[in-house]
Structure 1
Amino acid sequence: MNAVNQHADRLRAYVAALAIAFYRSFAFPTAETLRRWALAAVVVNAGITVTGAAVRLSGSGLGCPTWPRCTPDSFVPAHNDAHGPVNMSIEFGNRLLTFLVLAVAVACVIAALRMGHRNGGERRPVLVRLALLQPAGVVVQAMWGGLVVRTLLNPVTVSVHFLFSIGMIAAAYALFARSAEGDEPARRLVHRDIRTLGFAMVAAVLTLVVAGMVVTGTGPHSGDQAASRFGFDIETVVRLHSDLAYIVVGTTFALLFALHVSDAPGRARRAALGLLLVELAQGVIGYVQYFLAVPALLVGVHVLGSTLVWIAALRVVYLMRTRDPIAPATAERPRVRQAVA
């Protein structure tokens, strides 16, 4: 019995510590706590991107056939002859995840607004602007989601919906990276041409993602029988997507080679290697799903892979430059007192 009580006491202490840390992340935010909220924003935006694909892959794209209500008469799933309860629950569940993304977005804004310079107490506008992109993006995504429903999952609106998610991930990662840095101009850690190659790699990855959206809008798994499709030849768009994948892998390999021969910082080299490995795994999944007639589960894994490739590509370019961190206030105060004395 004593052991049970001790375990309960440790659990209560752990929960209390979490609650205090959660409160301090708002009341007394630091660069580290803002960085954690930004990382949470990256995770939840990536997560809702994958769950959104799961909605389509399960045939639940119109599980809630209206917007903002789930049915014409209810905000929550209700009996509907055209859609089963499972499909309605899946689509409604994905809509509810929007509130989690919004909560994290608001947390980023609060932390950025309350966090000032360590030694000056001034608000950092760049962090506030990057943080504000999160709730603004959620609102845009929600409104666009209504358009997706009202256009009966038109592949153009569905593709743009996914592209917005990619943009929100990029904004969240920018906040994650900048929260640990100061506001001085960025300094390159690699040769200028290597940095340019990194930007070209990111552009190639983004082009590959767009091509993947065209493949998705042309092939099966439309999300609902009422959904329309692009009128492209599926073999042609798949071949184009594969060719772009080879370009991305080749560009990444060239970047990795350049980083190694130029003795670039280890973090940048490891990030490029990680990106290459994720791309190769993504390629394997792509070929397997193609030869297995595009099963829904593997398509979902492929969407997750594309999201991870995008995040890994962003990580590489951010690690090829740096800014000096904000000097801690405790490091400045002793010098001020000494000067006065």
Structure 2
Amino acid sequence: MRSWALAAVVVNAGITVTGAAVRLTGSGLGCPTWPRCTPDSFVPVAHPEISPINTAIEFGNRMLTFLVLAVAIACFLAALRLTPRRPALLKLAILQPAGVLTQALWGGLVVRSALNPVTVSVHFLVSIGMIAAACALYARSGEGDNPPQRLVHRDIRTLGFVLTGSVLALLVAGVVVTGTGPHSGDEAASRFSFDIETVARVHADLVWVAVGLTVALAFALHVTNAPGLARRAALILFLVELAQGVIGYVQYFLAVPAVLVGLHVLGSTLVWIATLRVVFLLRDRGPLPNSAGLNAAAVNAGKRVTSPSSP
């Protein structure tokens, strides 16, 4: 269960980045229709007005959806076969195939709207939601179902929630910047009418808020001698944010080259995953439900083996 949940985190993050690559290469309408690639074919065919490379990139990204769907179904089946069955994991697992189907339908709307920046932005944010669900599934599959017990002071855990909200706001601001900037995915695509410098500055301000909250959280965890895993996770988040910040400022001063924008999208998914990891490590739900039963069975088996009356 835990392995498939980790795979779900990886593939959802991966298709988020490859989706950005489709836009950055100008391949957003490489397949100009949906669900077909062209008006009369589900697979790429020569089209006089579309580059074969752009068509291959867009069609390839569509095919990756089936990989994400396969992992999503595997997550659901793994949760379904757990003994004892855990309803919490089953609910989280079913979000994966449901999310993939939602994304596929929404992707059709993105194409049919000619890459309207609103639909493209929502497409990315739904991916962020699916990554969050996969991270939750991964965390919950490695722990029990007891009520959550704080491993840190209440105010520190609250700070973790505030940090998560700030990172989510940062991601929303990021898609607004993207929807205003030059990489639309196709020459025919529309753009937000905001001033690019203004939205970029707002985005940068939110970066500093998130970094400041991360530093505060890392410091609070250190001085309160919080569990080592939580302290290391906060440090990793801070380092990922620093790398992401460097990429962001460099791409801004270099007039947002496509390669750096792609790395920035990768960085945004890593910041989100690292943030969620910190929050999940601030509480504990006890051992896995079957751990106690397995240990008891092992002890009883040992007693039977060592008992004088045993055959």
User: Structure 1-normalised TM-score?
Assistant: 0.87
Instruction: Select 1:161's aligned residue among 119, 123, 134.
Output: 123
The whole-number CA distance in structure 1 between the counterparts of 2:165 and 2:193 is: 26
Matches within 5 A, 1:59-70: 59-70=26-37
Residue 320 of structure 1: aligned partner: 282
The whole-number CA distance in structure 2 between the counterparts of 1:126 and 1:74 is: 42
Does structure 1 residue 102 correspond to structure 2 residue 64? no
Matches within 5 A, 1:1-341: 34-117=1-84, 123-326=85-288, 327-333=291-297
Instruction: Give the direction of change, closer, same or farther, for the CA distance of 1:214–1:334 in structure 2 (3 Å limit).
Output: closer
The whole-number CA distance in structure 1 between the counterparts of 2:123 and 2:296 is: 47
Residue deviations 1:53-96 (CA, integer Å, cap 9, x gap): 00000000000000000000100111112211000000000000
Return the letter of the residue paired with 2:297: R
Instruction: Give the direction of change, closer, same or farther, for the CA distance of 1:226–1:328 in structure 2 (3 Å limit).
Output: same
Pick which of 78-87 and 97-106 moved more: 78-87
The whole-number CA distance in structure 2 between the counterparts of 1:251 and 1:78 is: 51
Task: Give the Å deviation of 1:336.
Answer: 6.9
The whole-number CA distance in structure 1 between the counterparts of 2:74 and 2:230 is: 30
The whole-number CA distance in structure 2 between the counterparts of 1:170 and 1:308 is: 11
The whole-number CA distance in structure 2 between the counterparts of 1:318 and 1:329 is: 25
RMSD of aligned Cα (Å): 1.4
The whole-number CA distance in structure 1 between the counterparts of 2:198 and 2:160 is: 28
The whole-number CA distance in structure 1 between the counterparts of 2:272 and 2:56 is: 29
The whole-number CA distance in structure 1 between the counterparts of 2:175 and 2:299 is: 57
Instruction: Give the direction of change, closer, same or farther, for the CA distance of 1:224–1:334 in structure 2 (3 Å limit).
Output: closer
Task: Give the Å deviation of 1:116.
Answer: 1.4
Task: Give the Å deviation of 1:335.
Answer: 6.6
The whole-number CA distance in structure 1 between the counterparts of 2:225 and 2:72 is: 38
Residue deviations 1:105-130 (CA, integer Å, cap 9, x gap): 0000111000113xxxxx11111111
Task: Give the Å deviation of 1:324.
Answer: 1.2
The whole-number CA distance in structure 2 between the counterparts of 1:267 and 1:172 is: 20
User: Structure 2-normalised TM-score?
Assistant: 0.95
The whole-number CA distance in structure 1 between the counterparts of 2:5 and 2:270 is: 16
Task: Give the Å deviation of 1:296.
Answer: 0.2
The whole-number CA distance in structure 2 between the counterparts of 1:254 and 1:329 is: 41
The whole-number CA distance in structure 2 between the counterparts of 1:59 and 1:180 is: 41
The whole-number CA distance in structure 2 between the counterparts of 1:91 and 1:303 is: 18
Percent identity (aligned): 73
Give 3-state SS (helix, strand or coil) of 2:37's partner. Answer: coil
- Structure 1: state its 5+ residue gaps: 1-33, 118-122
Return the letter of the residue paired with 2:212: G
The whole-number CA distance in structure 2 between the counterparts of 1:93 and 1:58 is: 13
The whole-number CA distance in structure 1 between the counterparts of 2:209 and 2:220 is: 16
Task: Give the Å deviation of 1:328.
Answer: 4.6
